[in-house]
Amino acid sequence: MATRTCTTFSSLLLLFFLFSAANFAPVTSSDHTDEYLLSCQPFSHTTVEKQSHFRFYWHDIVSGPNPTAVTVAEAPGTNTSSTFFGMVVVIDNPLTIGPDANSKVVGRAQGLYASAGLKNVGLLMLENFVLTDGKYKGSTISIMGHNPIFSEVREMPIVGGSGLFRFARGYVQARTYSFNITKSHDAVVEYNVFVNHY
Ligand SMILES: *[C@@H]1O[C@H](CO)[C@@H](O)[C@H](O)[C@H]1NC(C)=O
Ligand SMILES: *[C@@H]1O[C@H](CO)[C@@H](O)[C@H](O)[C@H]1NC(C)=O
């Protein structure tokens, strides 16, 4: 039977302790992880983690005939709440290279945000930046964080990614570029994305 073992630095350490008599203990395999573990090896030492800085303009279009952000749920008290507490909005917002809505679209921010602050406006953001242009086409960056939209800079964690962003970690900084507070409630937000990946 083929037995796969995980060769890591810690197993070398274990060997070291095994051969220093004081710590001797018999090593027996009492579980069956080798039956479903396909491989386990040191993460490549030759690939270097890099940090990429992207800037996107995120267009939250709630008005007009083709909104990209739609309210899908609210609590009975959302309309009377000063913070819209309980509102849930699903988004497929274009990500463009410039603040102008007609500038080149290079991705979409798909996901949702929920108004999760009782006393102060604070959104829970759950969004995937799905890139659609150039070498990053098809790769995604996943963001989950706290977005107090009236603060000048809101920092939110990058919790993962796919494709070229596999193993991603990092953060984004969101700054409101424009917000039509009187009528349409459409917003443009500048996202600076600092993502570590391989
Ligand atoms: C809240 O207000 C919106 C817009 O006026 C309305 O469409 C919606 O039905 C209201 N919701 C509740 C729970 O009252
Ligand atoms: C706000 O939205 C309204 C309705 O779409 C529009 O007429 C107005 O020009 C907008 N204001 C700004 C400052 O963009």
Give per-residue pLDDT as tens, 111-169.
999 999 999 999 999 999 999 999 999 999 999 999 999 999 999 999 999 999 999 99
Residue 26's contacts (CB-CB under 8 Å, 6 or more residues apart) are none
Q: Are 91 and 62 in contact (CB under 8 A)?
A: no
User: Does the pLDDT value for residue 78 go beyond 80?
Assistant: yes
Phi, psi of 16 (to 5 degrees): -55, -45
Confidence label for 47 from pLDDT (cuts 50, 70 and 90): confident
Q: Which residue from 63, 74, 80, 115 has its CB within 8 A of the most atoms of ligand 1, so it is best to mutate?
A: 74
Count the neighbouring beta carbons within 10 Å of the beta carbon of residue 144: 15
Q: Is the CB of 51 under 6 A from ligand 1?
A: no
Residue 24 has pLDDT above 90, yes or no: no
At 31 the pLDDT is: 64
| 79-121 confidence digits (pLDDT tens) | 999 999 999 999 999 999 999 999 999 999 999 999 999 999 9
**Interval between CA 94 and ligand 1 midpoint (Å):** 26
Backbone angles phi, psi at 177, to 5 degrees: -90, -45
Closest C-alpha residue for ligand 2 atom 14:
180
Q: Above 80 in pLDDT, residue 5?
A: no
Asked whether the predicted pLDDT for residue 58 surpasses 70, the reply is: yes
Q: Where are the beta strands (DSSP E) in 99-168?
A: 105-115, 123-131, 140-147, 154-162
pLDDT band at 15; cut points 50, 70, 90: very low
Tell me which long-range contacts 159-164 makes (C-beta under 8 A, separation of at least 24).
161/195, 161/197, 163/136, 163/138, 163/139, 164/135, 164/136, 164/139, 164/197
Encode pLDDT of 27-43 as tens digits.
555 567 788 888 888 88
pLDDT band per the 50, 70, 90 thresholds, residue 46: confident
Which residue from 66, 184, 186, 188 has its CB within 8 A of the most atoms of ligand 2, so it is best to mutate?
184
- Ordered by where they begin, the domains of the chain are 50-197 (2.40.480.10)
